[in-house]
Amino acid sequence: MSEREGKIAVVGDKDSVLVFRALGLDVFPVDDEEQARQTVHALARTHAVIFVTEQVAIWADMYLKRYKSRPYPVVVPIPSAGESMGLGAAGIKSNIEKAIGADILFGKEDK
Amino acid sequence: MAKLNVNPTRMELRRLKERLKTAVRGHKLLKDKADEMVRRFMLVIKENKRLREEVEEELQTALRAFMLARAVASDDAIEEAVAMTGTGVELKVGASSIMSVDVPVFDIVEQEGGELYPYSFASVPSELDGSISSLARLLPKLLKLAEVEKTCNILADEIEKNRRRVNALEYVMIPQLEETIKYITMKLDENERGATTRLMKVKSMLEEKNDSDGEH
């Protein structure tokens, strides 16, 4: 953990992530699956927090699963400028089901 | 449940009893740990859900504004505007422990004297200003979300692992030990009974022999 200085990276399509550059975050626009995977994989070693758009999260799912149970890096899916795919909510749901065995927070919305 | 493959000796019995004691104690401790972890998890996951909903909504508004800005102004102008970063965010990362599970903790160190809008207001549409300022306000929340979501991930993982341990102890290890202890006790008792019967038999045989010797 010591070599990480808490840098924040944002990975996603250009439309959605460019604006983060104005806040001083490291922005990495990606266009295809291969690029997304490589970028996320490389960033995992240098950055503490990686925000990825939902599309990138789906593309790089293989790596994200691996990082899930480690403290760092923290990978957070965020919605892109378009419609949200509900990936974040799905993540919460799967966590609840994993820990409790049944979904108790989202139960009402499904009905 | 199958018993363990051990020799039915007193030494083995003593060893197994000790192991059973440890297993039962471990089982109780792990069960308590599971309860507490689930309690903590419920607290965190509720916050996670709330934060996630808030952030997604606000983020989408901000990003839509940015898209509008891009539509109005030329690509070059926007890229030029955001390329020069006036402000920066530094993060101190640490780790805290929930039930001896390491979870990340962030400390945001904001750099002083930064300029949030390091571009000429004339060259870009006002939507960009709005987008940037709302994102800047959103950033601490985003990081909080990152922290909370990671905590949930790790806790959920740990709870699942812990549950496996508890189940392995409860349904495999402890019944196995109990069964084996029972088996050894029975075997030892049986041996003892066998020895007593043998002694009695020998004694009665000896007495019979003495009796018949005395008659002659």
Q: Is B10-212 a CATH 1.10.287.3240 domain?
A: yes
Three-state DSSP class for residue B108: strand
pLDDT per position as a tens digit, A75-92: 888 877 666 677 777 888
Residue type, position A62, single letter: M
Say which residues have a Cβ less than 8 Å from residue B86's Cβ, sequence separation at least 6. A22, A24, B114, B115, B116, B117, B118
Quote the pTM value: 0.79
- A2 falls within a domain: no
Q: Is A89 on the interface with B (CB under 8 A)?
A: yes
- A3 falls within a domain: no
Q: Is A90 on the interface with B (CB under 8 A)?
A: no
Bridge pairing between strands A74-78 and B89-98:
unpaired
- A108 falls within a domain: no
- A110 falls within a domain: no
Query: Which residues span the domain enclosing A12?
Result: 8-83
CATH number at residue A19: 3.40.50.10580
Say which residues have a Cβ less than 8 Å from residue B79's Cβ, sequence separation at least 6. A18
The residue ranges of every structural domain in chain B are 10-212
Are the Cβ atoms of B70 and A15 closer than 8 angstroms?
yes
- A90 falls within a domain: no
Give the Å distances, CA to CA, from A3 to A6, A45, A46, B146.
9, 9, 8, 20
Q: Which of A15, A21, A95 to mutate to test the interface with B (most CBs of B within 10 A)?
A: A95
Task: Please tell me the distance from the alpha carbon of residue B46 to that of residue B172, in angstroms, as a whole number.
Answer: 35
Based on the structure, what is the number of domains in chain A? 1
Are the Cβ atoms of A84 and B159 closer than 8 angstroms?
no
pLDDT tens string for chain B (216 positions)? Answer: 677 888 888 999 999 999 999 999 999 999 999 899 889 888 888 888 888 888 888 888 888 887 787 777 777 777 777 666 666 667 777 777 777 777 778 777 766 556 666 666 666 777 777 777 788 788 888 888 888 888 888 888 888 899 999 999 999 999 999 999 999 999 999 999 999 999 999 999 999 999 888 766
Is ipTM over 0.85? Answer: no
Burial of A57 (0-12, 13-18, 19+ CB in 10 A): buried
Residue type, position A74, single letter: V
Contacts of A85 in chain B (CB under 8 A): none
Are the Cβ atoms of B85 and A81 closer than 8 angstroms?
no
Contacts of B89 in chain A (CB under 8 A): 8, 23-25
Q: Which of B111, B132, B142 sits opposite A51 (nearest CB)?
A: B142
pLDDT tens string for chain A (111 positions)? Answer: 444 567 788 888 877 777 777 777 788 888 888 888 888 888 888 888 888 888 888 887 777 877 777 777 888 888 776 666 777 778 888 888 888 777 776 655 443
